[in-house]
Structure 1
Amino acid sequence: MSVAKTANGRWRVKVKSKGLLVADQTFVLKRDADAYEAKQKRALLLGEFVDPKAGKVSLTEVTEMWMGSRAASISTKTHQTEGYALAAHLPTTLGNRPISSIRTSDLDALYGTMLHKLSRSTVMRFRNTLSSLFGWAVREALISKNPVLESRVPRGKGQDKKQEIYPYSLAELREVTADLTAKHPTLGPVALVLGLTGLRWGELVALRVRDVQLVPRPAFRVSRSASDGQEVRTVTKGGSARTVPLADEVVAIVKPLMAGRGPDDLLFVSPRGERLNGPNWKRAVGWTALARGRREHDLRHTAATLWLTNGIDLKTAQTWLGHSTATLTADTYSHWMGTDSDAAALARINAVLGDHTGTSSPNLRAEG
């Protein structure tokens, strides 16, 4: 490195690495030039040096590079969702700026604007996507620091939209499964498996024979997932493998599927022996006509609500569902988690009201 006075009286700093000029900047004041030289020297020694020219790439261009780098490593749905979020919520004025010019304050202001029309949870997801984007830029030496890490989404603003769920009761699940099975005997029972294990569709279709555990107790070992039309990924949406216990009804469905199959063979396959495809499965079992207005994902919600309303604790349900936190489980299913006091209160109300035939309780008759 060197600091030298130029003919016009300014101070020029040349930064070299292994004999190559990697940065060249001019300052009016020598103290600014000295400070810049010291900063670059420290960055080179620590391996944190970032070519100033790299940071001049626009945020939009970096976004395109990042999206391209992820195309083969994440599901198509996730890739599309991230791309849509960035295109929809990243202002053109911000996107056109050099990535090195983006500050935490810019992002804080952006979150505040988004909260005028979006839920806080949506803004939080957008922040997480931005953090991944800027983190990648740091690893690629385009910038030296991720400004998202210190940014904060304000609390108490925005309108969180709770996801509406429509789980089946156990009786309904069995009835619907019977209807689907009558339509397609081999594929109909898949609904019961989904409704009693809480697996995501992509996790179920990626299960192999070796993923079925029969001792010490029946369970699925869930460690892979596969979006329709995509290769199997050795990671689940929750990010880690988990074990999901199997009720006797599920074991009765699964055991015949394992007979004569190799450990790496897929457990659930189409009549042609291929991996199940969601739209094809729905057509084969007559889902639209027979599912009573539910979505396939409501089968996962069915398992969760069956567990939580029958004494399974929140932490266990979180683990079986593969949720990242118990808070996510609680937020999704809080209105299905009745307490003992709820049950006792309802019993008292029913005792006061009498049975549904119209017979009044003694207390009500006395008041009349």
Structure 2
Amino acid sequence: MGSAYAYDTKAGKRWEARYRKPDGKTARKGGFLRKRDAEAYIAEVEVSKSAGTYIAPSDAHAPIAALGVDWLVAHEAAVKPSTYHSDESSWRIHVEPRWGARRVGSIRHTEVAAWIAELAATKSPTTVKRCHGVLASILDGAVRDRRIPANPARDVKTPKKSKKPKPYLSHKQVERVAAASRYPDVVRFTAYTGLRWGEVTGIRVRNVDLKRRRVLIEENAVEVNGHVQVGTPKTHERRAVVYPAFLDKAVRAAVKGKALDDLLWPAEFGGYLRPGNAVSGWFAGAVKRIRAEDAKAAAEAKARGEETPPIMPRVTPHDLRHTAASLAISAGANVKAVQRMLGHASAAMTLDTYAELFEDDLDSVAVALDSQRSESLAS
């Protein structure tokens, strides 16, 4: 048990609490106006020591900048390169400038909430959530290291991300994009397997099973900050994906004459195939040309007083993944099959992502229940 000692200052008499830390070393905390305040602090320390929740005041003095550097080192080894790049940018641009000089023990919940509100006024919900996540993760580490008793960034509300409608292409629209692009077979393969772009471009010849029409997904070639980085698939799990029979000829042609470690779908001049610039790249260019054709046809139909035909939606290579889910579901695939095809961590994730595509299933269930009830009562 510690003791309280008096000492004199220019402002008058003050009291100092002296006690032993869990490691046996003596610690001091002064500045108390009354002896009983110092003794109350000592009592709190003893209770926290017994409960295993003791926080050394000196540990709470660590600056966020130092903790952030340590967090980034550990974070880089734990996440995908693309995730690390985004989180490192959030730390460097938003988190470190605001919180870097602050001592970890001085940060308050209300301050974090005010900062989030400031960010939300000018930044997208995605950016705000990522910045909050970085700070909260750093402070989680501080809690585990017993620098602070609780995380002041937790339970802070962040803006909700609005779900934008996904563009789903029809079979004919997929074919139009493929035919207008520089890599038609890659477009078709992506739209009918549901693979992520990095998974498609990371496939090697040795991953292809021509007899069973399957490809083993074990690499993911992601473009990060202008450079392609190769790692494992997003869920870190290898999976086999089936491709339709009509793609068999294209896959066999892509395999022919290549070594086992060669890429199945390389770029025209070798290396990993990239989707190109979002405005002027080869994929965007194909979509742009089709949309121009459709706009012209729609204008001509309107001038004739006829019903205007639909215009191809703006799509990205990633939207081909959404298209694959849509086409599979419309063909009768159940949620577990779609989950396995897309490589989602759970069926719940698939349902959450493509809930609108399963709406027709509700009608089917109602019709089936009605039919079974009628049959049961009749018998």
| TM-score w.r.t. length of structure 2 | 0.66
Distance 2:179 2:86 in 1: 35
Cα deviation, 1:203-234, whole Å, max 9, x if unaligned, reads 2222223333456x433332332222132112
Secondary structure of 1:232's aligned partner = strand
User: Cα–Cα, structure 1 residues 68 and 210, in superposed 2: closer, same or farther, change >3 Å?
Assistant: same
Counterparts of 1:149 and 1:324, CA distance in 2: 27
Residue 240 of structure 2 aligns to a residue whose secondary structure is strand
Q: C-alpha displacement at 1:90, in angstroms?
A: 5.6
Kept after mapping to 2: 8 A contact 1:75/1:230? no
AA partner of residue 32 (structure 1) = Y
- Please name the residue that 1:358 is paired with: none
Structure 2 unaligned runs (5+)? 8-14, 33-37, 292-313, 365-379
After superposition, residues 277-288 of structure 1 pair within 5 angstroms as: 277-279=274-276, 283=281, 286-287=285-286
CA distance in 2, matches of 1:256, 1:145: 62
Q: Deviations over 1:317-357 (max 9, x none)?
A: 233223344444334433333416769xxxxxxxxxxxxxx
Q: Does 1:25 align with 2:32?
A: no
The answer (yes or no) to whether the contact 2:80–2:234 under 8 Å persists in 1 is no
The count of corresponding residues between Structure 1 and Structure 2 is: 326
Counterparts in 2 of 1:210-221, with a 5 A limit?
Answer: 210-214=206-210, 217-221=212-216
Aligned to 2:147: 143
- CA 1:34 to 1:291, structure 2 compared with 1: closer, same or farther past 3 Å? farther
Quote the residue 2:327 is aligned against. Answer: 306
Residue identity (%):
25
For 1:189, the equivalent position in structure 2 comes to: 185
Q: Give how far 1:200 is off.
A: 1.3
Which stretch shows the higher mean deviation, 86-95 or 265-274? 86-95
| 2:244 maps to which of 244, 247, 252 | 247
Q: Which residue of 2 aligns with 1:198?
A: 194
More displaced, 251-260 or 275-284? 275-284
Q: Decide whether the 8 Å contact of 2:60 with 2:148 is kept in 1.
A: no
Flag the 1:196–1:150 CA change in 2: closer, same or farther, 3 A: same
- RMSD between superposed Cα atoms in Å: 4.3
Q: Which structure 1 segments of 5+ residues have no match?
A: 344-368
2:17 is aligned with 1:11: yes
Match of 2:205 in 1: 209
Q: Provide closer, same or farther for how the CA distance between residues 116 and 326 of structure 1 changes in structure 2, counting only shifts above 3 A.
A: farther
Corresponding letter in the other structure for 2:174:
L
Greater CA deviation, 28-37 or 314-323?
28-37
Distance 1:288 1:168, change over 3 A: closer
Q: Is 2:189–2:247's contact at 8 Å kept on the other side of the alignment?
A: yes
Say whether 1:79 aligns with 2:78. no
TM-score (norm. length: structure 1): 0.68
Q: Is the 8 A contact 2:210 2:252 kept in 1?
A: no
Distance 1:269 1:116, change over 3 A: closer
**Contact 1:112 / 1:153 at 8 angstroms: preserved in 2?**
no
Is the CA contact 2:22–2:49 (under 8 Å) kept in the aligned structure 1?
no
Match of 1:258 among 236, 239, 255: 255
Residue aligning to 1:270: 267
* Superposition pairs of residues 62-211 of structure 1, within 5 angstroms: 62-63=67-68, 65-67=70-72, 69-71=74-76, 74-75=79-80, 77-83=82-88, 85=90, 97-102=102-107, 128-138=133-143, 141=145, 143=147, 147=151, 151=155, 153=157, 160-180=161-181, 184=182, 187-211=183-207
